[in-house]
Amino acid sequence: MPVITTNTSANSALRYLNMNAAEQTNSLNRIASGSKINRASDDASGLAVATKLQTNVSTLNQAATNASHATSILQTADGGLSQISDILQRMKTLTAQSISGAVTNTERAYINAEYDQLVKEIDSIVASTTFNGDQLLKGTGAGYSGSFLVGTNAGTSGSTANSDIIDIKITSGTTLGDGTFNAVAGLDLETTLYKSGATTNKEDIDAAQLAATAIDKAISAVAGARADVGAQMSRFQFQAAQIASSTENLDAAQSAITDADVAKEQSNFSSAQVKTNAAIAALSQANQMPQQLLQLLR
């Protein structure tokens, strides 16, 4: 029914114009931001899930850093133990050299001098093998220990151990082999390998044999410590690979929820743009209808 007081056609065209303009704006926002969730009202439940996934990804990124730090600590400790092992092998060679009837007391004094310096070098390596100020091969009790978060669960698990936290433990260089290392480092070289004033070489050879036995125990202890460090290092390396895989999968899941399909949004934008133009044209025509009706009164 043609009327001039209420322009129903214009109201309807205006409503569709607002709807189409809003749709066009939403598509343009998604294209510009690359995300299909720009407001909580776009997808409330998707936003909640995506936020949790993003939190997990951020935590895993730090967990990867933690695993890298743990690996670096273990590598540093292994480097120190490797040097100690090499020194102990040289010390064993020196004791073998001393156990020879062709070596005189004067020459054993030279052997002792090198042996003594090697003991001091082991002490130096034990004291200087550090990471971020923490001594790795020297300390009270069992030596260095630390805990590293390598997952997303940083809380406690009651009576069950938290599998996302890995503890590392490095045997102290001062207690290797239940004291066998101390036995080597504590040898008094001037009276053990070489006894000044001895009438025969028998005491010197016996002492060298005792030193060789102590060194063998120390070498075995260092080898055991390196094996333990290597086992822990291997675990962190596999854990780092698992973290990388989990991060990739979580990123993909988050992308499926939040990332905009640019091709789809461009298509929606073009469609909304056409409908907006059509609504503008329809509104223009609707606004002219009352003026056209007035022509009937003339």
Could you read off the pLDDT of 142-201 as tens digits, one per residue? 568 889 999 888 776 554 567 889 999 887 554 443 344 445 554 544 444 544 444 455
pLDDT tens figures, 57-79: 999 999 999 999 999 999 999 99
| pLDDT grade for 82, boundaries at 50, 70 and 90 | very high
CA distance 275 to 264: 17
Residues 254, 275 share a domain: no
Residues 137, 50 share a domain: yes
**Residue 204 in domain:** yes
pLDDT, position 253: 93
pLDDT of residue 217 exceeding 70, the answer is: yes
pLDDT, position 150: 92
Residues 298, 178 share a domain: no
Query: Distances in Å between the alpha carbon of 184 and those of 100, 169, 175, 219, 283?
Result: 21, 23, 11, 10, 99
Mean residue pLDDT across the chain:
81
pLDDT, position 292: 73
**Residue 215 in domain:** yes
pLDDT tens figures, 283-298: 888 788 777 777 776 6
pLDDT tens figures, 107-118: 777 888 888 888
Residues 184, 156 share a domain: yes
Strands, E assignment, the chain: 130-131, 134-135, 143-149, 165-171
Mean pLDDT, residues 243-247: 94
Counted domains in the chain? 2
Residues 142, 282 share a domain: no
CA distance 233 to 68: 10
**Residue 126 in domain:** yes
Mean pLDDT, residues 83-110: 84
